[in-house]
Amino acid sequence: MDRSDSLYMNIPQPIHTPVDAHSAKIHTPSRAQSNSSRQRRSHRIPGGFPEEDEANQSFLTEKQSQVPGFDPETPEAGGVYLIRQMGTNRTLTLTTGRVTVHYGTLPQGGWQWLCEDLKNGHMAFREAVSGRYLGRCIGHTLRPRFHVEEKKAGNSESWALRPRKQGGYNLMVKRRRGLQTLTIVEKDDTSELKLRMVKNHSEAVRWEFIKVA
C-alpha cells in the first residue's frame, strides 16, 4: 500500500463520491463531514425529480449550489417559494399560459412564487417570471379554474393558509364571503393534473413551501 492509498483509507466513510489520490490529500475530516452534510441535504432538493428526468436533474444541481436550504417552511412576505404537494414531487407551475401541477420543476421557470402580504389580511403569490398574480378565474361558478394574469392582486388573488396537524398547509382562495380550498384532480384520459376547489378540507391537498430565494 503506497502513501496515497493510506490517505484514502483514513477518509471518513460518509463520503459517497469517488475520491482520487490527489483529492484525498487535500480533504480533512472536518471538510469531509461538511461535504457529507451537504450531500444529505441534496436529497431534499426542490421538485424531487424522477430519476429519468436528466435535464431537470442537471438544472436542479445548478440551483442547489445557490440555495442555502431545501426544508419546507412557513411562507413569509418577500420570500420566493416552490409550492409542492406534500410528500410528492408535484409542483404548482405556470406552463404554456396555464396554471397546473407539474412533476418536478422546469428550467424555464414558472414554479417560483413571490409571497406578498395584502392589505385585506390575506397573502398573494406572484409568479417570478411574468410578475403576475396567481388567482381564481371569475365567472367559473361550478368548477373554478385558475390563471396568472392580473398585475394587481384583488379578492380573486387573495390566499390564506390553513396549517394541518399532519404537516403542510391547505391553500385557500377568497371567494364571495368565504374561502375555498385548492386540491388536485387527476383524469383517467390524460396525464395532466387539474386544480379544483373543494369545500371539504378532508378532500384538500396539503402543500409545502420550499424557499428558493
Q: In this predicted model, what pLDDT tens digit does every residue of 154-169 receive, in sequence order?
A: 888 999 999 999 999 9
Q: Which of 20-29, 58-67, 112-121 has the highest mean pLDDT?
A: 112-121
- Residue 192 banded pLDDT, cuts 50, 70, 90: low
- Residue 177 banded pLDDT, cuts 50, 70, 90: confident
What mean pLDDT comes out for the span 107-132? 93
- Residue 194 banded pLDDT, cuts 50, 70, 90: low
Share of the chain above pLDDT 70, in %: 61
What mean pLDDT comes out for the span 112-123? 94
Structure-model confidence comparison of residues 190 and 170, the more confident one: 170
pLDDT at 146: 82
Strands 90-95 and 123-127: unpaired
pLDDT at 197: 73
User: Looking at the domain 68-211, which fold is it?
Assistant: Trefoil (Acidic Fibroblast Growth Factor, subunit A) (2.80.10)
* Residue 45 exposed, middle or buried by CB count within 10 Å (0-12, 13-18, 19+): buried
pLDDT at 193: 60
Strands 207-211 and 80-85: antiparallel
pLDDT surpassing 60 at residue 132: yes
Residue 128's nearest CA partner among 20, 211, 9 is 211
pLDDT at 70: 58
Structure-model confidence comparison of residues 48 and 98, the more confident one: 98
Structure-model confidence comparison of residues 1 and 66, the more confident one: 1
Out of 14-18, 172-176, 179-183, pick the least confident.
Answer: 14-18
Which H or E run contains 22?
Answer: helix 21-26
The Cβ of residue 107 has, within 10 Å, a number of other Cβ atoms equal to 12
Listed by start position, the domains of the chain span 3-42, 68-211
